Amino acid sequence: MTDRSKISAFFIVILFLLVAVGVAFYLYESRNANPVSGLKPRIEMSISKITHITDSTMDMSLKLLVDNPLPVGVDIKNFRYLVKMNGVKIIESEYADSLKLKSRDTTMVMLPTKIDVKKLVTVSKKSASAGEDSADYSFEAALNLKKPFLGKDTLHIDQDKRLPLIRLPKVEMQDFDIEKFRLSNSEISIKLKLINPNAFSVEFRNPSYVFDLGKQKGLAKGSVKGVTKVKAKSSQVFEIPVEVGMGKALKTTGVLIFKGKSLPFKMYFKCKLVSDNDMMKNSDMSLIMEGELKDLQKNIK
């Protein structure tokens, strides 16, 4: 064997040994690697129920399923979370209670949240104008651990999901029969426009109201037993018969003569919202409608 052949054989042996050492090291690391290093809890978010709607805020419950695939339990001190709808942040809050995730188990958590109605309506209108009945929701959470896990004090988890678009029913004051009131008629009527922008029907049940006119507080108040069903993506005018005591009527008539339709009004309206959709079952609605009587003419079509 020539010197050149000996050198080539030597390098081949060295290369073979390096490859063998590399393979052995890889197998050793694979067998002794931490079996949970690539695992962490997973979440599944859904909208549970809208509980209360006002002019400015909406109270809603989120249902969170947390799956822990780890062979050990995880103790969570608290966690912060946020929800985006079509890229716009609509919820940012904190779950202050402790939470224990059992090993290889699923835990359900109900998150009561409060949403700014104006922000929600802005996002919803934009999606609805594009003909969409659903939206892209993004959920992000930072879980603060009681004890460090794999060298970490906080676990970050997230989820993206397509869910129904949240659109809120509305109530607008449509008309107030001023002429009859001027005739000192103690029986007048208030017309309300019930608007349902959703892809499912909504029932407005057992409405109650308090109506202020000018400085006359509680000019009319009462409740109506019954149900008004508004079909999907439609509206319906609801008429409330109002009885006004003669004393209050006489006090207000004089003001009406001088101020007429420039007289300010305020109406407090409450009802229950019921639908076949789980998101809006037996939800409370509390609204305040206010303006001047002349504004009502703009709502009449």
Residue 6 lies in a domain: no
CATH number of residue 218's parent domain: 2.60.40.1820
Q: What is the pLDDT of residue 35?
A: 42
pLDDT tens string, the chain, 301 residues long: the values are: 555 555 565 556 566 656 555 555 454 444 444 444 456 788 888 888 999 999 999 999 999 999 999 888 889 999 999 999 999 999 999 999 999 999 999 999 999 999 999 999 999 988 888 888 889 999 999 999 998 877 889 989 999 999 888 899 999 988 877 666 555 556 677 889 999 999 899 999 999 999 888 888 888 788 888 999 999 999 999 988 777 665 565 566 556 555 656 788 899 999 999 999 888 989 999 999 998 877 775 555 4
10 Å CB burial of residue 83 (0-12, 13-18, 19+) is buried
Q: What is the pLDDT of residue 30?
A: 47
Both 201 and 286 in one domain: the answer is yes
Residue 285 lies in a domain: yes
Q: Which domain holds residue 267?
A: 170-299
Q: What is the pLDDT of residue 36?
A: 44
Q: What is the pLDDT of residue 14?
A: 62
pLDDT digits (tens, 9 = 90+) for 24-74: 545 444 444 444 445 678 888 888 899 999 999 999 999 999 999 988 888
Both 61 and 159 in one domain: the answer is yes
Distance CA 176, CA 171 (A): 15
Residue 258 lies in a domain: yes
Which token pair is 234? 């439609």
Q: What is the pLDDT of residue 242?
A: 74
Q: What is the pLDDT of residue 33?
A: 42
Residue 150 lies in a domain: yes
Both 149 and 207 in one domain: the answer is no
Q: What is the pLDDT of residue 171?
A: 94
Domain count, the chain: 2
Q: What is the tally of helices (H) and strands (E) in the chain?
A: 5, 16
Task: Say if residues 210 and 218 touch (Cβ distance below 8 Å).
Answer: yes
The answer to whether the pTM exceeds 0.85 is no
- First-to-last alpha carbon distance for the chain, in angstroms, is 106
Residues in contact with 112: Cβ distance below 8 Å, sequence separation at least 6, in sequence order: 51, 59, 60, 61
Residue 232 lies in a domain: yes
Q: What DSSP line would sit under 114-129, residue for residue?
A: EEEHHHHHHHHHHHHH
Residue 71 lies in a domain: yes
Write down which residue in 108, 136, 164 finishes a domain: 164
Q: What is the pLDDT of residue 110?
A: 94
